[in-house]
Chain A
Amino acid sequence: MASDVHSKGVTWDTSNGNLTPVEHLPNSRSESPTPGLVEGTEPGAGQERAMFVHTQSFEDLTADVELTGSRLSEIEEVEEEKEEEQQQGGGGGTGETGGGAEGVEEPKQEVHAVVREKEEDHVFVLSEAGKPIYTRYGSEEALSTTMGVMMALVSFVEANKNVILSIHADGLRVVFLRKSPLVLVCVSRTGQSDSELWRELHYVYYQILSLLTLPQLQRVFQQRQSYDLRRLLSGSERVTAGLLRLLETDAGLMLNATMSLPLCGTTRNIVCTSLQAASSKNLVFSILLAGDRLVALIRKKEQHLHHTDLHLLSNLAASSSSFRQGEGWTPVCLPKFNASGFFHAHISYFEPASDLCLILVSTDREDFFNLSDCKQRFLERLKKRNAYQTLKEALHSPTYPVSQVGIPELWHFIYKSKSSGLYTSPELPVPYHTEEEQERLMDLYQYLHSRLHHLTRPLRSIYRCTNTENLLAWSTSGFELYLCFSPLATKALAMSAVTKLLKWIRKEEDRLFILNSLTY
């Protein structure tokens, strides 16, 4: 296999240096990170089967959610009674039942003042009757006329058996996403491409599905077209706001990948096996998160989690402070897994002040005490094997400085292993310490990403040289790499950096990636 790898048309200078393979790696893993790397052998590739549903970059995002029969037969199909969905567990609050985020009614202000001034993307959700469901800024009431016009435009174009996609003006884009019975609209000034904005809208759509499921959403509007969906979504505003914020700052949502917490191999092994041992009959996924980093993921055999679903879950856990106080128990639909049914998630933080969060996803709505018990068993096992303390220490350094890689002029990078669906990225260095600069860098990455994955004219690689930074993006069948250099970097340096970086990642892959995908 390795020889096969090397014979591929190598376009970038790569020296097959004396990279020592990590001891316990099977020989099939390529010793040298050459560009021709076959998927599954790139640095960071999972050892056995992947733990995630395999996703390329966007294409699968835009695919419609499946409604045909649940992949997991035990999933509880949606039932009529919505009230049952929010069962109370232990001493914990539930998700976001009409919490503090609700009803921050802004006074009726000049509509467009709200719309115009914001630099971030403005997102609207409306029903087919033109009724406001969600607006990122301002109040739905104040913007209801604008939303009415949006719906009028959508249906006018549809009357001609056509679909409205977007409107472009200088420095402004309005992008429409039609997901019957909803219409989602994004108004952006950031210069992002249409596909990037559609991705945002898809996420918002999935967020709504995760609260309602698709059949329930459809039924509500079948029964009454003018239904005010805000009644069912009330309390979720903070979750949606968190999600939109994440879309602007987290590369994982752009890449369809997840970042794992850097952790030494032995500790990760203990954590994974302890989590694996703490199983229960109806458990489908056990997910241990440190903030937005994945620490461990255990899944039922043959079941795969989709990145979108994981991001929705992690955002849900992060957006509500109530999970920090005790154990939470909430129904949740994982729209990419199955848009027609609810799972039940047990969400709890280990300590109120810590970022360690455990999410246990079960098919049984009566499973709360079982899962609570799972959590206890997991914790005890961790403590017994002295891993809990190590884990907590690892939280203090959830990231690493780019200087560890030892490449001059390299400011930042993102490396995604396609087969494992995980990515790694160092902390943001000095030029990107303000929020503004971080968003600018994220915009640059999004630009590179949308050019690489252009729907009709995809590219192998792109190098962009500006006054403020030099950027290089490269996509192969095995990985995607985005590099950001200082403006002083040369092309020769950038090319040698690629080789060096891939070697470094191979050396560190044990720590940076989760190489074993365990099942119960």
Chain B
Amino acid sequence: MYLIKGMPIRLLQGRTNELQTHLNADDQSKNGFWNTGKTFGPREGEEEKKILFYHPCEVEKNEKIRNVGLCEAIVQFTRTFCPTKPAKSLHTQKNRQFFHEPEESFWMVMVVRNPMIEKPNKDGKPPTIEYQEDEILDSVYGAVLQQCYSMYKLFNGTFIRTFEAGGVELLIQKLEKFFYRYIQTLHLQSCDLLDVFGGLSFFPLDKMTYLKIQSFVNRVEESLSLVKYTAFLYNDQLIWSGLEQDDMRILYKYLTTSLFPRHTEPELAGRDSPLRPEVTGNLLHYGRFLTGPANLKDPETKFRFPKIFVNTEDSYEELHLIVYKAMSAAVCFMINASVELTREFCEQLDALVGPQLTLLASDICEQYNINKRISGPEKEPQFKFIYFNHMNLAEKSTIHMRKTASVSLTSVHPDLIKILGDINSDFARVDADEEIIVKAMTDYWVVGKKSDQRELYVILNQKNANLIEVNDEVKRLCAAVQ
């Protein structure tokens, strides 16, 4: 048995101005440790200033400087062979270090400890520790590091903008505030192929209901002209989004792994449980704000919403994020941050959206149940699969039972999921369409298919099947997924 226990992250930068991040996790407490650093001019004795953030912060100063120095050396060394393609990871016996340069000359580094096996020794000697150097997949943790940056950027904007606005001090402050909390929510043990894709799960819907939702969105956007973008989700799955794909994928990640799970616990609690929020608004609808005011009636309520940054490549928009939910339906409204949101606006929104959304939610639920009944009772299928479409970022997994804030539960052996990751890395090396079918030592068949921007991975339980039967099974599945 093993767990991935460690994870240092650093952020460093090139010649004139540098930033370095370092994230690590302590064995026992599982506190991640990060450091992010930034400096101007690599002057002797000023190395520490390069470090903008380092986790865990209690690491001794010289050690921070040494660790960050190694990252810089690796990056520089790799440049001598390939100036255009920077180093992405360093493998050592004890850990792997991942490098990411999200903005020019700002570097983030994440260190993930290799799993260990303790082998007991005779004669009361301390046990020998064996590191498993081949357990960690580069593609997965490289993607996790990139996601760290995307999440930071969603709520804080780019490093360079912050730096221009408030200098190193402001940047350091923002990094600390964000990553202190965020690192604790990273569950590196349960990261897998889905983190590489970072896709969106779409809610399957019939045309009629889809049109109803679209017309709802149009009506609201028309009545509330302040609303710039809208996104509609049901059951943690996306139905409609007005945002750019890349912005939506990180917002979706935030909603489904952080915001929604925080609010489901109270909903599931019993009627008399103290966890259950008091019925707020009026009894005509179930709508309520997940961000901003908890209770509109409360005169003390503040009308402050989280701010997010989108389209940072070009128009660089800062927006208020309003998330409003009725039953299983959730809508995100995004409004330009320069506008101040008032009690009147929130009441207007609540009155307009609440009843309609409640109705819509029960419509969708009903439709969904009808569809389920038509397709018949679900049998335990002979296979599990992950599907991802690069064009619309749609992903679908029957391997992951439920994604929660803490862990994504999977129903198959971790080694099989790692084999999926291996196949994915093989695909990533070539542009052309490919197919790979392997038989694991446990006799499970694992199939990967890449075709026309889409990827499908299947794990088959039919241990006695032969290659042809496996192929037929996958063909049937392909037809069903499309």
Known: A12-B467, A167-B87. A174 touches B73 (CB 8 A): no
Give the docked Cα–Cα distance between A319 and B80 (Å): 32
A407 within 8 A of partner (CB): no
Known: A169-B78, A458-B441. A495 touches B464 (CB 8 A): no
Give the docked Cα–Cα distance between A151 and B73 (Å): 12
A146 within 8 A of partner (CB): yes
A168 touches B87 (CB 8 A): yes
Give the docked Cα–Cα distance between A464 and B427 (Å): 11
B41 within 8 A of partner (CB): no
Contact string against B for A residues 164-175, beta-carbon threshold 8 Å, 1 for contact and 0 otherwise? 111111111010
B88 touches A491 (CB 8 A): no
A462 touches B91 (CB 8 A): no
Q: Identify A115's interface contact among B81, B89, B436, B471, CB under 8 A.
A: B81
Q: Identify A165's interface contact among B82, B93, B467, CB under 8 A.
A: B93
B81 touches A112 (CB 8 A): yes
Give the docked Cα–Cα distance between A456 and B441 (Å): 11
B89 touches A167 (CB 8 A): yes
Give the docked Cα–Cα distance between A115 and B440 (Å): 39
B435 within 8 A of partner (CB): yes
Give the docked Cα–Cα distance between A277 and B437 (Å): 51
**Which of B130-138, B305-313, B356-364 touches A?**
B130-138
B29 within 8 A of partner (CB): no
Residues of B within 8 A of A333 (CB): none
A156 touches B415 (CB 8 A): no
Q: Identify B85's interface contact among A170, A454, A463, A465, CB under 8 A.
A: A170
Residues of A within 8 A of B466 (CB): 11-13, 495
A362: min CB distance to chain B, Å: 41
Residues of A within 8 A of B467 (CB): 12, 463, 491, 494-495
* A-side interface mostly: mixed
Residues of B within 8 A of A168 (CB): 87-91, 138
B94 within 8 A of partner (CB): yes
Q: Identify A459's interface contact among B82, B95, B434, B439, CB under 8 A.
A: B439
B77 touches A465 (CB 8 A): no
Residues of B within 8 A of A146 (CB): 80
- Minimal Cβ-Cβ distance residue in B for A159: B66
Q: Identify A153's interface contact among B66, B73, B426, CB under 8 A.
A: B73
> Residues of B within 8 Å of A, CB-based: how many?
48
Give the docked Cα–Cα distance between A451 and B419 (Å): 10
B134 touches A465 (CB 8 A): no
A455 within 8 A of partner (CB): yes
B471 touches A491 (CB 8 A): yes
Known: A156-B70, A167-B91, A168-B138. A460 touches B443 (CB 8 A): yes
Give the docked Cα–Cα distance between A352 and B47 (Å): 65
A461 touches B134 (CB 8 A): no
B430 within 8 A of partner (CB): yes
B251: min CB distance to chain A, Å: 28
A461 touches B438 (CB 8 A): yes
A451: min CB distance to chain B, Å: 7
A489: min CB distance to chain B, Å: 12
B92 within 8 A of partner (CB): yes
Q: Identify B419's interface contact among A12, A457, A495, CB under 8 A.
A: A457
Residues of B within 8 A of A174 (CB): 77-78, 81
B371: min CB distance to chain A, Å: 35
Contact string against A for B residues 420-459, beta-carbon threshold 8 Å, 1 for contact and 0 otherwise? 0010001001101111111111010000000000000000
- Minimal Cβ-Cβ distance residue in A for B470: A491
B102 within 8 A of partner (CB): no
B132 touches A463 (CB 8 A): no
Give the docked Cα–Cα distance between A447 and B422 (Å): 12
Residues of A within 8 A of B384 (CB): none
- Minimal Cβ-Cβ distance residue in B for A452: B438
A153 touches B91 (CB 8 A): no
Give the docked Cα–Cα distance between A112 and B78 (Å): 11
B67: min CB distance to chain A, Å: 9
Chain B contacts with A in 58-100, Cβ cutoff 8 A:
66, 70, 73-74, 77-78, 80-82, 85-95
B396 within 8 A of partner (CB): no
B436 touches A465 (CB 8 A): yes
A9 touches B422 (CB 8 A): no
B418 touches A153 (CB 8 A): no
B468 within 8 A of partner (CB): yes
Give the docked Cα–Cα distance between A454 and B93 (Å): 17
B81 touches A187 (CB 8 A): yes
Known: A163-B92, A168-B88, A451-B422. A457 touches B415 (CB 8 A): yes
Residues of B within 8 A of A9 (CB): 464
Q: Identify A116's interface contact among B81, B94, B438, B464, CB under 8 A.
A: B81
Residues of B within 8 A of A464 (CB): 426, 434-437
Which one of A168, A174, A194, A462 has the highest number of Cβ atoms from chain B below 10 Å of its Cβ?
A168
- Minimal Cβ-Cβ distance residue in A for B440: A459
Contact string against B for A residues 1-41, beta-carbon threshold 8 Å, 1 for contact and 0 otherwise? 00000000101110000000000000000000000000000
- Minimal Cβ-Cβ distance residue in A for B472: A491
Contact string against A for B residues 221-258, beta-carbon threshold 8 Å, 1 for contact and 0 otherwise? 00000000000000000000000000000000000000
B93 touches A167 (CB 8 A): no
Residues of A within 8 A of B80 (CB): 111-112, 115, 146, 149
A463 touches B82 (CB 8 A): no
Known: A116-B81, A165-B92. A191 touches B429 (CB 8 A): yes
Residues of A within 8 A of B438 (CB): 451, 459-463
A466 within 8 A of partner (CB): yes
Chain A contacts with B in 422-461, Cβ cutoff 8 A:
447, 451, 454-461
Question: Shortest 9 CB-CB distances between A and B: which pairs?
Answer: A163-B93, A465-B435, A460-B439, A165-B91, A170-B85, A463-B437, A462-B438, A456-B134, A461-B439
Q: A11-B443, A170-B85, A464-B434 are in contact. List 7 more A-B contacts (CB 8 A).
A: A153-B77, A156-B70, A174-B81, A456-B415, A459-B441, A460-B439, A491-B471
A-B contact list, 5 entries, CB within 8 Å = A11-B466, A170-B88, A463-B436, A463-B437, A494-B467
| A-to-B contact residues, CB < 8 Å | 9, 11-13, 111-112, 115-116, 146, 149-150, 152-153, 156-157, 162-172, 174, 187, 191, 194, 447, 451, 454-467, 491-492, 494-495
